[in-house]
Amino acid sequence: MNYKDVFWLAFTDLGEKRIRTALTVIMVVIGVASIIALISQTAGISASVSSALSSLGPTSIIITPAPGTVFTYADTSLLGSLPNTSAVIPLVTGSVNIYTDGQNVSADLIGVAAENADQLIGNLTFIQGQLYTNGVNPETVIGYSVAYPGTSGTQYAFVGQPITIKTEKGGTYTVPVVGMLKKYGTSFLVSPDTSVFMPLQAAESILQRQSFTEIIVKANSTAATGALATQIGDIYGNNARVISTQQLTQEVEQVIGSIGLLLGVIAGISLVVAAIGIMNIMLISVYERTHEIGIFKSLGFRNRDVLTLFLMQAIIIGFLGGVIGVVFGIGGSYGLSAVLSAAGSGPAASNGTAGSGGSGGGARFGGGRATTFGGSSGSPSSSSISYTPVVSGLTIVEAMLVAVVVSILAGVYPAWRASRLEPIDALRAL
């Protein structure tokens, strides 16, 4: 008997029991869709983190003070004198509210020297205006989502017009806007879209700080980064946390990988449930078709023909469930990302209601620059990381193979049991 006939008999029998077959296929669909959706989220987050950290460059070393420790200009001088140091970037950061044209937008105020702004953000690009000049007079460059809060696409802050900044300590300042940045999206150390930047000394005055929130040191080569980070760690000991972007990338990828493995196992459990369901349904099918099997054998069907017939049913169920599961999994990946994005972006800022602005196109995660490194308290929602799920062809192929293999394994015992039936005993079963 050829495989075409076996396939037709198997497909016809499944078609005669549509509801039972549909429910069994749905079990496989859930498992495959879960695997694709969850794995694509972790892959997207991992790619986003790597991209965000790469904007700082592989030679960056991030230094944040421990509680009770303060960073001053003496520390920048010390760090700048170390061998293999090419740049020292001190930062002053804090959470503020921006008032403009009746809008109240939550943002991060970041004080950084003009010559270091490009190294901090990476590829500094302006839609309008230009970078501020260093000094105590406050001038600000605003992020895209500060100018365009919410999702309406309406611009509320403009170059050449002042904005009102209110700090957590209650200070209120009117500051002219000299530049507006392009939309960056993904971020890690700082979030350009939801931040306002100004000269370091001006930020110290507005935030009423006499110390730096954190310091970024740039090594003069990738090879020297590890040794320089170790040297800085030896100098500060427990008074500061010292970590390079290389180390941070590895740590984050390890954590994300572990989470991805856990999520994959959880999704795999649904396939195990589906396998049990397939085995149960096929055992019932063997029982119901005992007389039919006897007729097949009396017409010349061999044991392997019967075995192949029932295994073909399992393959069809696994293949159909895999194909439909891939479609739902890809859709679910982007749907889950959109849900997380809506949950993380906060309400649109309007009519005096604070909002994070945010940028569309991906989900957000992470606690932001300050809470990530333990430097200072910041607004988690205003410095989150966006990501787009990554659905690779390899993931799709693996999910399909898993679905088919699980279905075959689940169908082996029922198929073997059907093939071992004696023709006479099977014909007696009515």
Q: Is the pLDDT of residue 134 over 70?
A: yes
Residue 203 shares a structural domain with residue 276: no
231-276 per-position pLDDT tens digit? 999 999 999 999 887 777 777 777 777 877 787 787 778 778 878 8
The confidence band for 31, taking pLDDT boundaries of 50, 70 and 90, is: confident
Counting the structural domains of the chain, the total is: 2
Exposed/middle/buried for 136, CB within 10 Å: 0-12, 13-18, 19+? exposed
Sign of CA dihedral 37, 41, 42, 46: positive
Do 68 and 140 belong together in one domain? yes
Q: Which residues of 200-224 are buried (b: 16+ CB within 10 A; e: fewer)?
A: bbbbbbbbebeebbbbbbbbeeeeb
With cut-offs at 50, 70 and 90, classify the pLDDT of residue 407.
Answer: confident
User: Which pTM does this prediction carry?
Assistant: 0.61
- Report, as an integer, the average pLDDT of 359-381: 38
Q: Are residues 84 and 44 in the same domain?
A: no
Q: What is the pLDDT of residue 159?
A: 93
314 in the same domain as 236: no
Q: Is the pLDDT of residue 425 over 70?
A: no
pLDDT band at 349 (very low <50, low <70, confident <90, very high): very low
Instruction: Identify the pLDDT of residue 350.
Output: 38
* Mean pLDDT along residues 324-350: 70
Q: Residue 222 — pLDDT band, cuts 50, 70, 90?
A: confident
- Do 117 and 215 fall into the same domain? yes
Report helix, strand or coil for 121: helix
CA distance 430 to 425: 10
Token representation of residue 16: 């005669």
Q: Are residues 346 and 404 in the same domain?
A: yes
Residue after which a domain boundary falls, among 243, 274, 293 = 243
**Beta bridge mates, 303:** none
Give 377-416 as a DSSP string. Answer: ---GGGG-EEE-----HHHHHHHHHHHHHHHHHHHHHHHH
Residues 6 or more apart whose CB falls under 8 angstroms from that of 397 comprise none
pLDDT tens column, 265-296: 877 787 788 788 788 777 777 777 676 677 77
What is d(CA 56, CA 245) in angstroms, rounded to the nearest whole number? 8
**End residue of a domain, out of 193, 215, 243:** 243
DSSP annotation of 170 reads S
Same domain, 346 and 308: yes
Distance, in Å, from the CA atom of 216 to the CA atom of 89, rounded to the nearest integer, reads 5
Residue 130 has pLDDT above 80, yes or no: yes
For residues 149 and 133, state if they share a domain: yes
- pLDDT tier for residue 380 given thresholds of 50, 70 and 90: very low
In this structure, the answer to whether residues 237 and 168 fall within a common structural domain is yes
- Counts for the chain of helices (H) and strands (E), in that order: 13, 12
331 and 287 co-located in one domain:
yes
Residues 235 and 322 in one domain: no
Measured between alpha carbons, how far is residue 110 from residues 126, 158, 373, 374, 424 in Å? 17, 19, 15, 16, 86
Query: Domain of 225?
Result: 59-243
Residue 131: per-residue pLDDT: 93
Nearest to 252 by CA among 42, 14, 404: 42
pLDDT of residue 342: 57
Q: What is the mean pLDDT of the chain?
A: 79
| pLDDT at 291 (0 to 100) | 64
One domain for residues 266 and 285: yes
Whole-angstrom Cα distance, residue 326 to residue 174?
A: 54
Residues 375 and 268: their CA atoms lie apart, in Å, by 39
- Site of tokens 């170059």: 159
- 315, 116 contact by CB (below 8 A): no
- Of all residues in the chain, the percent with pLDDT exceeding 90 is 27
| DSSP H or E stretch at residue 91 | strand 85-100
User: What distance in Å separates the CA atoms of residue 214 and residue 95, rounded to the nearest whole number?
Assistant: 15
Residue with the larger pLDDT of the pair 2 and 327: 327
Closest CA to 45 of 374, 403, 344, 401: 344
Select from 243, 267, 286 the last residue of a domain: 243
